Chain A
Amino acid sequence: GQNIDQPTEMTATEGAIVQINCTYQTSGFNGLFWYQQHAGEAPTFLSYNVLDGLEEKGRFSSFLSRSKGYSYLLLKELQMKDSASYLCAVREDNAGNMLTFGGGTRLMVKP
C-alpha cells in the first residue's frame, strides 16, 4: 500500500513563490505526478518526475528525491488563476498506469 501526505491548505500572495510539498511511502516507486484541479473542474496534468532532480516547465517546477520519498511543486510569479487544488499522485512498480493520489493541497492566492 501507499501513504501520500501533502498539506491541506496554503495561502500565498500574488507575484510570490510557493512550494507545495508531498511525501510518500510506498513499497515500490515508478513515478510521481502533479495535477491541478480548479473547483468544479477536471484535474489537469502539470508534471511528471521519475528520476531525482528538478523538472522545470515555465512558472511551474517539480522536484523529486526518491531516497527521501519527497517531492515538491514550485509555483513562481503567482497569479490569481493559480488558486486551485494541487494533487500529488504516485505510480507504484508493476502497477501499470494506476495512480494513488494524495488528498490535495488547496492553494489560495491573495492580491
Chain B
Amino acid sequence: ETGVTQTPRHLVMGMTNKKSLKCEQHLGHNAMYWYKQSAKKPLELMFVYNFKEQTENNSVPSRFSPECPNSSHLFLHLHTLQPEDSALYLCASSPNHRGTYEQYFGPGTRLTVT
C-alpha cells in the first residue's frame, strides 16, 4: 500500500464502548497528526507526534487517547465518547513536524457515536 491508510473507514459505537482508530503511513515520514473534521466546522488539529514523541495536544478531552508506537503507526483510542464526538477523523503525516512540509492525509474514519 502507498500513502496514508486508515482503518476502519466507518465506525459506529455506543457511548460506553471502547474502540481504536488506526493510521499507517508508507511514506517514510517522521511526523504524524490527528485531526477532527465536524460538519460545518474547520479541520481541527488534535495531536502531533514527531519521532514517536507527542509534541502537541490541542486541549483534547482525555476520552481521546493517542498512541504512536513507531513513526509509521498512529492510533487513537476512544472511550466513553459523546454524540458530539461524531465526526470524520483524519490522520496525516509529513517528513518532520518542523519546516515547510505539506501534510499527506489519509481517507479518514467516519465515526458515529450513538
Distance of A90 Cα from B19 Cα, bound (Å)? 32
Do A48 and B100 have beta carbons less than 8 Å apart? Answer: yes
- Interface flag for A79 (CB, 8 Å): no
Distance of A104 Cα from B56 Cα, bound (Å)? 23
- Interface flag for B4 (CB, 8 Å): yes
Interface size class of A (residues with CB under 8 A): 20 to 34
Do B90 and A42 have beta carbons less than 8 Å apart? Answer: yes
Query: Total A-B residue pairs with C-beta atoms closer than 8 Å?
Result: 58
User: Which residues of chain A are within 8 angstroms of B74 by Cβ–Cβ distance?
Assistant: none
Tell me the B91-106 residues at the A interface (CB within 8 Å).
94, 96-106
Distance of A99 Cα from B107 Cα, bound (Å)? 18
Residue of B nearest to A4 (CB): B42
Do A97 and B99 have beta carbons less than 8 Å apart? Answer: yes
Distance of A30 Cα from B102 Cα, bound (Å)? 13
Distance of A96 Cα from B53 Cα, bound (Å)? 14
- Interface flag for B27 (CB, 8 Å): no
Distance of A100 Cα from B42 Cα, bound (Å)? 8
Distance of A25 Cα from B106 Cα, bound (Å)? 28
Tell me the B59-108 residues at the A interface (CB within 8 Å).
90, 94, 96-108
Do A97 and B45 have beta carbons less than 8 Å apart? Answer: no
User: Which residues of chain B are within 8 angstroms of A42 by Cβ–Cβ distance?
Assistant: 4, 90, 105-108
User: Which residues of chain A are within 8 angstroms of B55 by Cβ–Cβ distance?
Assistant: 96
CB distance from A25 to the nearest CB of B (A): 14
- Interface flag for A43 (CB, 8 Å): yes
User: Which residues of chain A are within 8 angstroms of B103 by Cβ–Cβ distance?
Assistant: 45, 97, 99
User: Which residues of chain A are within 8 angstroms of B90 by Cβ–Cβ distance?
Assistant: 42-43
- Interface flag for A87 (CB, 8 Å): yes
Interface residues of B (CB under 8 A from A): 4, 31, 33, 40-45, 48, 50, 55-56, 90, 94, 96-108
| Shortest 7 CB-CB contacts between residues of A and residues of B | A42-B105, A101-B43, A45-B102, A101-B42, A96-B97, A103-B42, A43-B105
A-B contact pairs, 10 of them (CB 8 A): A35-B105, A48-B100, A87-B43, A97-B98, A97-B101, A98-B33, A98-B97, A100-B42, A100-B45, A104-B42
